[in-house]
Amino acid sequence: QLQLQESGPGLVKPSETLSLTCTVSGGSISSILDYWGWIRQPPGKGLEWIGSIYSSGSAFYNPSLRSRVTVSVDTSRNQFSLKMTSVTAADTAMYFCARHGGYCSGGTCFYPSGEFDSWGQGSLVTVSS
Amino acid sequence: SYVLTQPPSVSVAPGKTASITCGGDNIGLKNVHWYQQKSGQAPVQVISYDTDRPSAIPKRISGFNAGNTATLTISGAEAGDEADYYCQVWDSSRDQVVFGGGTKLTVL
């Protein structure tokens, strides 16, 4: 059974960089049918997509966060990561990683248009001095 | 950008049917996915591609999508169905995932 687990600091200072890693077990991050995504949820609020990446390194980002966000993949460790720069209190949230289905054809995927079908339990990140 | 509109809250009596709507411009032309999030837990996919239900999700949960509204229907509502429900689509015009604002379902 596929499992995802987020890890990283729970407290980040304003203006610094938030870094999280998602470790995938029970499946391969190199799957030709899957993207891998990050979603966040501020306390008491709804879900916000951050970005998703394919094993090739092709990534898609939320336009409102693109200037501050980088998602990367490490196939050798079966992990993918999130970096968000210049954080503020507004970035305080539960951060989830998830497997993200894509539009795929001919052995490759073109964009992450599908569902998030497996989620990590989430990692709470607080931005505060 | 593409906007998905959900009612903030829906109430249903035990054993009755709840309908949660997700409105969007010509949403019937898009694939809609639905998630259930219970308090303090990660979301769980309950419907994908408008109507597909994972094997672990009971048959009394169903989806429909046409025109400007997608609908998640929960029949025979139970206390365990109390949760926040989110719809999600892919906005191909901006290459981005869009979530609805979420609907809190209360089983009275």
Asked if the Cβ–Cβ distance from B45 to A115 is below 8 Å, we say yes
Residues of B in contact with A115 (CB under 8 A): 33, 45, 48-49, 88
DSSP H helices, chain B, are none
In degrees to the nearest 10, what's the CA dihedral of A46, B1, B35, B24?
120
* Mean pLDDT computed over A90-99: 98
- pLDDT of A40 above 90: yes
pLDDT exceeding 90 applies to what percent of chain A? 86
Confidence of residue A106 (pLDDT cuts 50, 70, 90): confident
Asked if the Cβ–Cβ distance from A62 to B33 is below 8 Å, we say no
Rounded to an integer, what distance in angstroms lies between the CA atom of residue A26 and that of residue A4? Answer: 9
pLDDT digits (tens, 9 = 90+) for B54-84: 999 999 999 999 999 999 999 999 999 999 9
Residues of B in contact with A121 (CB under 8 A): 41-42
Q: Name the residue among A34, A116, A55, A37 with its Cα closest to residue B49.
A: A116
pLDDT at B46: 98
Rounded to an integer, what distance in angstroms lies between the CA atom of residue A26 and that of residue A2? Answer: 4
Q: Name the residue among A77, A24, A36, A115 with its Cα closest to residue B53.
A: A115
- pLDDT of B33 above 90: yes
Asked if the Cβ–Cβ distance from A49 to B1 is below 8 Å, we say no
Confidence of residue A107 (pLDDT cuts 50, 70, 90): confident
pLDDT digits (tens, 9 = 90+) for B80-94: 999 999 999 999 999
Asked if the Cβ–Cβ distance from B33 to A112 is below 8 Å, we say no
Residue to mutate among B39, B46, B96, B98, with most A CBs inside 10 A, is B96
pLDDT digits (tens, 9 = 90+) for A55-68: 989 999 999 999 99
Confidence of residue A93 (pLDDT cuts 50, 70, 90): very high
Residues linked to residue A62 through DSSP beta bridges, in sequence order: none
pLDDT digits (tens, 9 = 90+) for B7-23: 999 999 999 999 999 99
Contact A128, A14 (CB under 8 A): yes
Rounded to an integer, what distance in angstroms lies between the CA atom of residue B105 and that of residue B11? Answer: 6
Contact B46, B54 (CB under 8 A): yes
* Mean pLDDT computed over B27-39: 97
